[in-house]
Amino acid sequence: MITVPEAKNIINSISFHRRTVKKLLDNAINHTLSTDIHAPIMLPNFSQSAMDGYALHLAPNLKKYLVIDEVQAGSSKNPILQKGEAVRIFTGAAIPSSANAVIMQEKTSVNGKSLTLDYIPPVGKNIRYAGEQIQKGALALGKGTLLTPAAIGFLASLGIETVEVYEKPTVALLITGNELIQRGQSLKHGQIYESNGSMLMGALRQTGFEPSIIQIVPDEYQKTKELLQTQLEAHDFVLVSGGISVGDYDFVGKALLELQTEQIFYKIRQKPGKPMFFGRKGTAFVFALPGNPASALSCYYQYVLTALKRAAGEDNFSLKTIFLPLEKEYIKKGNRAHFLKAKLTAQGVKILHKQSSAMLHSFAKADAMVFIPEEQMQTDTGQLVKVYLLP
Amino acid sequence: MITVPEAKNIINSISFHRRTVKKLLDNAINHTLSTDIHAPIMLPNFSQSAMDGYALHLAPNLKKYLVIDEVQAGSSKNPILQKGEAVRIFTGAAIPSSANAVIMQEKTSVNGKSLTLDYIPPVGKNIRYAGEQIQKGALALGKGTLLTPAAIGFLASLGIETVEVYEKPTVALLITGNELIQRGQSLKHGQIYESNGSMLMGALRQTGFEPSIIQIVPDEYQKTKELLQTQLEAHDFVLVSGGISVGDYDFVGKALLELQTEQIFYKIRQKPGKPMFFGRKGTAFVFALPGNPASALSCYYQYVLTALKRAAGEDNFSLKTIFLPLEKEYIKKGNRAHFLKAKLTAQGVKILHKQSSAMLHSFAKADAMVFIPEEQMQTDTGQLVKVYLLP
């Protein structure tokens, strides 16, 4: 049994197997760069106007200019201005090389070709100089950068069409428990509807992954073992729900052992989710999650997601974490760390009722999890607590 | 010209046109319920064991019990226990109706059929009683609930197969600017690579929407007008990038006017993104965003996304907002409100360099935006600022 910080440190220190793939930039959102990208051109590629107005060849103390031409955005025109001359210009249009300032049109009055300035702008005013954003050949975005919409836009503006990124890891989802019945059938006494498969598939999709297979594992030792072996050979990650506890019919642990899966850790001093197993076989990793739905989802957010994101190239991934005042005192029972379903409020954060690991009702209303460390038995109203924001 | 809070209030007060659709629960992640859902069964549907251990029919002061049977998870067995008798039981298995407590196996010793307890558990210990999570017929999740993984899991555990949700609105993306060149072609002087299309498509996808069309608008008035008309008739939202400024070649504003689009507002006292236009024609809405990429993306996160989410049923959507201490003093120039690209740090939040609305480089490294209100000219080191977390 290890502590929460120990479990997190272990996951953060593993070098997960990664594959790279070339993708069209437009299909690379939320992927991570596997190479540095250097700017193939400078940005802007030419000195451009930041305003709709007039480009000027400034003459000392002069307020009246002669408008000799016009440069639209996209035009390759480069009219030659003498001192005291101006051209009509638009946002994004190329500044004539002989102009040295732009005045916005709202600060001028025009009469035919005669332009009168409200004030004399300084040299360089409203000009975005060539190379001001980035020089040709400079590092544009480094290996390991997550491609957000802004990063995609930035690379697009450099003319980049394809990028090399880390592939998302492949994931198999195995669900155990012979009390589980598929929806649509009627329940007999002692049976419940299977829900962890749908829940974990939702969690994977919501966080950028797609399970390639979701399979109900029959409660028989030999079949459990065969299925685990097949999926560990075919996938980067196998997530198992249930079957890892001490019960006589929990076959997953025994099967993983016999398949010579290396145990990285088993059991974390936390509530919910104590009996979580994390192991490795070759380049594949297996998380065996508790069968209680709230425990399974809590373990997904706190551990599995970090491993998947790291495998996808996000070295520094963690759920967004903030410290907020607790709305109402919380007395922790027992000496495990607690992850509590919670909701952000205007004043801070509120721990929700009904924290049982078997219950999803409060989780369905939560947008955050509050972390209470092992040693902290009493947390007072208004005390700052660590809050993980749910995706 | 209106203020930032005024613009946000207007968007938050509009009743966007919504359509509902039936979806399989497994395909409904990140959709919003359009009806209340009442529990078709109670949860748990039978009293069940919360532990692997022994179900007891307690007898006063007794520590030795006779094990008469076993109940596995999923079994419909209901053995009858006399006082002083026990059955082996597993997590999730149905508690025999004559048992009144469960003791976890770690707190017992067993010799054949003789069970010795380490302590005498109170009545109800380790039993999840039928209906304890929710009663049959009670409100499970209300209209307007966002279907998170936990909500999906909860509905799945109730046996629900399909849900009625709000459809995501349809979106057309129109890009203007005759300085824009498609990637793969070589740039002439004065031309730049089109990037707002890729950036906004990424932003839409990252936040749960999919543009049905992305089209470059030729810089001709008549074609601009025709395209706007066609797309306003075919979509719930039309996002236009560029063409709404005061330049003589900005046709979008003129075309929208002639198409009798109702102006809801035009221009917000903010930087970046001042010249944003928001209008309505019939049930369709149009956002004309500034052509500068950082301005366009800032407006997307601050305004467009809220409108799209509200149209998709999320009445109370906003970007996650927190207050954090500013790492280094910020002096605001001018009297507009500022949205600043920023990064969360261990100590608070840091405003990034190069805030120009034409530059995406700093946005590509940002994970948050800091909001500085109009009237706040100086913000001190350590002062709390409003921080919007980027999706």
| Overall size of chain B counted in residues | 391
Tokens for A252?
């997953």
How far is it, in rounded angstroms, from Cα A92 to Cα A361? 53
Contact across the interface for B74 and A190, Cβ inside 8 Å: yes
| Overall size of chain A counted in residues | 391
How far is it, in rounded angstroms, from Cα B31 to Cα B23? 10
Question: Which chain A residues have a beta carbon less than 8 Å from that of B33?
Answer: none
Classified as helix, coil or strand, A357 is coil
CA distances from B147 to A297, B26, B164, B306 (A): 14, 10, 11, 17
Rounded (10°) CA dihedral A324, A330, A336, A338: -40
User: Which H/E stretch holds residue A220?
Assistant: none
How far is it, in rounded angstroms, from Cα B206 to Cα B214? 16
Would you say A361 and A354 are in contact if contact means Cβ atoms under 8 Å apart? Answer: yes
How far is it, in rounded angstroms, from Cα A88 to Cα A81? 12
For residue A79, pLDDT over 80 is answered with yes
pLDDT (0 to 100) of residue A347: 83
Which B residues 190-249 touch A at CB under 8 Å?
A: 190-203, 205-206, 219, 245-249
How far is it, in rounded angstroms, from Cα A353 to Cα A359? 11
Fold of B48-128: Molybdopterin biosynthesis moeA protein; domain 3 (2.170.190)
For residue A249, pLDDT over 70 is answered with no
Question: Which CATH class, in words, describes the domain spanning B321-389?
Answer: mainly beta
Would you say B77 and B69 are in contact if contact means Cβ atoms under 8 Å apart? Answer: yes
- Please provide residue A20's backbone torsions phi and psi, each rounded to the nearest 5 degrees: -110, 160
Asked if B125 has any chain A CB less than 8 Å from its own CB, the reply is no
Q: What is the DSSP string of B18-65?
A: --EEEEEGGG-TT-BBSS-EE-SS-BSSS-EESSSEEEE---TT--EE
Classified as helix, coil or strand, A264 is strand
**Cα-Cα end-to-end distance for chain B:** 28
Long-range contacts of the stretch B276-284 (C-beta < 8 A, 24+)? B276/B7, B276/B244, B276/B303, B277/B244, B277/B252, B277/B253, B278/B7, B278/B10, B278/B11, B278/B303, B281/B232, B282/B232, B283/B17, B283/B236, B284/B232, B284/B233, B284/B235, B284/B236, B284/B237, B284/B238
How far is it, in rounded angstroms, from Cα B383 to Cα B328? 9
pLDDT (0 to 100) of residue A274: 93
- Which residue in the set A94, A245, A366 is minimally distant from B189, CB to CB? A94
Other CB atoms within a 10 A radius of the CB of residue A352 amount to 17
Contacts of residue A15, Cβ cutoff 8 Å, sequence gap at least 6: none
pLDDT (0 to 100) of residue B171: 98
pLDDT (0 to 100) of residue A355: 82
Contact across the interface for A356 and B41, Cβ inside 8 Å: no
Contact across the interface for A183 and B198, Cβ inside 8 Å: no
CATH code of the region B20-39+139-166: 3.90.105.10
The phi-psi region of residue A63 (left if phi > 0; otherwise alpha if psi is between -120 and 50; otherwise beta) is alpha
Closest CA to A378 of A342, A323, A326, A302: A326
Instruction: Output the pTM of the full model.
Output: 0.94
Average pLDDT per 10 consecutive residues for chain B, totaling 391 residues: 97 96 97 98 96 96 97 95 97 96 96 97 97 95 96 97 98 93 94 96 97 89 94 97 74 92 96 95 96 95 98 94 93 96 91 84 93 97 95 90
CA angle A56, A128, A126 (to 5 degrees): 45
- Which residue in the set A78, A159, A179 is minimally distant from B193, CB to CB? A159
Mean pLDDT of chain A: 95
CA distances from B197 to A167, A176, A319, B24, B291 (A): 24, 45, 29, 32, 11
For residue A262, pLDDT over 80 is answered with yes
Closest CA to A278 of A293, A289, A269: A289
Identical fold at A20-43+133-166 and A48-128? no
pLDDT (0 to 100) of residue B247: 63
Q: Is A241 exposed, middle or buried (0-12, 13-18, 19+ CB in 10 A)?
A: buried
Contact across the interface for A360 and B153, Cβ inside 8 Å: yes
CA distances from B130 to A293, B39, B269 (A): 17, 13, 57
CA atoms A12, A13, A14, A18: torsion sign: positive
Asked if A373 has any chain B CB less than 8 Å from its own CB, the reply is no
Asked if A158 has any chain B CB less than 8 Å from its own CB, the reply is yes
Asked if B113 has any chain A CB less than 8 Å from its own CB, the reply is no
Q: Which residue of B has its CA nearest to A70?
A: B248
Asked if B319 has any chain A CB less than 8 Å from its own CB, the reply is no
Place of tokens 């997953």: A252
Angle at which helices B149-157 and A196-206 cross, to 10°: 160
User: Which H/E stretch holds residue A67?
Assistant: strand A64-71
Parallel/antiparallel/unpaired status of strands A48-49 and A127-128: antiparallel
Residue range A317-358, pLDDT digits in tens:
989 988 999 999 999 999 999 999 999 988 899 999 888 777
Mutate to test the interface with B, among A191, A210, A220, A384 (most CBs of B within 10 A): A191
For residue A247, pLDDT over 70 is answered with no
pLDDT mean over A210-225: 90
State how far residue A282 is from chain B, nearest Cα, in angstroms: 30
pLDDT (0 to 100) of residue A346: 81
How far is it, in rounded angstroms, from Cα B166 to Cα A316? 35
- Please provide residue B156's backbone torsions phi and psi, each rounded to the nearest 5 degrees: -60, -40
Q: Which residues pair with B86 in a beta bridge?
A: B56, B67
How far is it, in rounded angstroms, from Cα B214 to Cα B199? 11
Question: Which CATH class, in words, describes the domain spanning B4-16+168-311?
Answer: alpha beta
Closest CA to A302 of A211, A375, A388: A388
How far is it, in rounded angstroms, from Cα B244 to Cα A212? 45
- Please provide residue B162's backbone torsions phi and psi, each rounded to the nearest 5 degrees: -130, 150
Q: Is B230 exposed, middle or buried (0-12, 13-18, 19+ CB in 10 A)?
A: middle
Tokens for B342?
């920023």
Residue spans of the domains in chain A: they are: 4-16+168-311, 20-43+133-166, 48-128, 321-389
How far is it, in rounded angstroms, from Cα B76 to Cα B45? 12
CATH code of the region A20-43+133-166: 3.90.105.10
Mutate to test the interface with A, among B47, B152, B389 (most CBs of A within 10 A): B152
Asked if B26 has any chain A CB less than 8 Å from its own CB, the reply is yes
How far is it, in rounded angstroms, from Cα B296 to Cα B228? 18
Tokens for B377?
């000219």
Would you say B251 and B176 are in contact if contact means Cβ atoms under 8 Å apart? Answer: yes
CA distances from B35 to B18, B151, B306 (A): 13, 14, 21
Q: Which residue of B has its CA nearest to A194?
A: B157
How far is it, in rounded angstroms, from Cα B290 to Cα A22? 32
Question: Which chain B residues have a beta carbon less than 8 Å from that of A176?
Answer: none
Asked if B45 has any chain A CB less than 8 Å from its own CB, the reply is yes
Contact across the interface for B153 and A29, Cβ inside 8 Å: no
Parallel/antiparallel/unpaired status of strands B85-89 and B64-71: parallel
pLDDT mean over A139-155: 97
Residue range A21-72, pLDDT digits in tens:
999 999 999 999 999 999 999 999 999 999 999 999 999 999 999 999 999 9
**Cα-Cα end-to-end distance for chain A:** 28
Place of tokens 């030999």: A222
Q: Which residues pair with B385 in a beta bridge?
A: B324
Asked if A124 has any chain B CB less than 8 Å from its own CB, the reply is no
Question: What does DSSP assign to residue B381?
Answer: T
ipTM of the complex, rounded to two decimals: 0.94
Q: Which residues pair with A176 in a beta bridge?
A: A217
